[in-house]
């Protein structure tokens, strides 16, 4: 494993951009399937399918699944954090709109930066890097400025749920990086999260009274395939590999790109309008990421 203060190289940056683009497009994929497969159930099916793929992957690569590496309780912890995070994200969207949700959810890098300062040696951000982090977040707010109205009581409930989800997202990253999960196979770290959420999310779907699957059109099947195979299997393994090899405070800054890619995907696939706000936001986010990752 590389030192905790490893700067991002070109390979790491390119991989991060691909991941952020994939996660942004994933929001479109979820919307495509949401009327046929309820959101929390959809997340549960994704975890079940991806967990099975990770098991096969580990068997093919001869990565021991049940090795006594003293990570079981750490794995259960990050699995529970992962599960509750997704429950709050999907349930919170019942109360607030997507543009507000994405702003609150993407406060996660601040949690990572704070957690890294406290718990991860060598992960110190200087003033310029902190300024870059703030600039990137302001860019997100600019991108969704047109949707920022005074919240209703219901919106405040959803906003709080998304803020808690952001804290859990950031906490999961810090727990992985600061504990023994940072030195085991990234695929096993992912399996912990998927296995726990594969149990928790379907049960949560039942508890929330979701109606279950209705129709499965080819488009819906394609959406589920994208979420299971590409997002929850391939991109998540790549993300945990990045966590194991680079400074998490710098990795987290790139997640600001995810909602911007989501807007771009909405413009391409859903014919949503790209405004001047988005262009300004892309510039601010790009500049913020540059400042954070200066050597």
How would DSSP label each residue in 172-200?
HHHHHHHSGGGGS-HHHHHHHHHHHHHHH
Provide the pLDDT for residue 226. 95
Provide the pLDDT for residue 193. 94
Report how far residue 169's alpha carbon sits from residue 188's, in angstroms, rounded to the nearest whole number.
Answer: 18
Mean pLDDT across the stretch 175-201?
A: 91
Provide the pLDDT for residue 147. 61
Of 201, 199, 200, 178, the C-alpha closest to 248 is: 178
Of 105, 116, 125, 261, the C-alpha closest to 182 is: 116
Report the predicted TM-score, pTM, of the whole model to 2 decimal places: 0.79
pLDDT reading at 50 higher than 90? yes
């Amino acid at each position: 494993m590389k030192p905790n203060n490893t700067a991002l190289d070109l390979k790491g940056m390119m991989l991060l951009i691909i991941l952020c683009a994939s996660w942004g497009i994933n929001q479109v994929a979820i919307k495509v399937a949401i009327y046929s497969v309820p959101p929390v159930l959809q997340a549960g099916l994704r975890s079940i399918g991806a967990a099975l793929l990770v098991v096969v992957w580990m068997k093919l690569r001869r990565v021991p699944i049940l090795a006594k590496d003293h990570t079981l309780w750490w794995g259960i912890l990050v699995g529970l954090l992962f599960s509750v995070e997704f429950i709050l994200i999907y349930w919170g969207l019942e109360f607030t709109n997507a543009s507000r949700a994405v702003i609150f959810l993407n406060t996660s890098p601040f949690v990572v930066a704070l957690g890294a300062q406290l718990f991860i040696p060598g992960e110190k951000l200087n003033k310029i890097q902190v300024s870059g982090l703030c600039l990137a977040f302001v860019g997100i707010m600019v991108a969704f400025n047109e949707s920022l109205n005074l919240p209703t009581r219901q919106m405040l409930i959803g906003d709080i749920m998304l803020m808690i989800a952001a804290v859990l997202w950031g906490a999961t990253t810090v727990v992985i990086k600061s504990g023994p999960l940072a030195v085991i196979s990234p695929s096993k770290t992912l399996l912990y999260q998927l296995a726990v959420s594969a149990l928790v999310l379907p049960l949560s779907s039942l508890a929330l009274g979701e109606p279950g699957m209705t129709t499965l059109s080819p488009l819906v099947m394609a959406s589920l395939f994208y979420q299971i195979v590409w997002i929850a299997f391939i991109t998540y393994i790549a993300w945990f590999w990045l966590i194991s090899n680079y400074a998490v405070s710098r990795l987290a800054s790139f997640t600001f790109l995810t909602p911007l890619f989501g807007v771009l995907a909405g413009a391409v696939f859903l014919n949503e309008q790209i405004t001047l706000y988005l262009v300004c936001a892309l510039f601010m986010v790009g500049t913020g990421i540059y400042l954070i990752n200066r050597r």
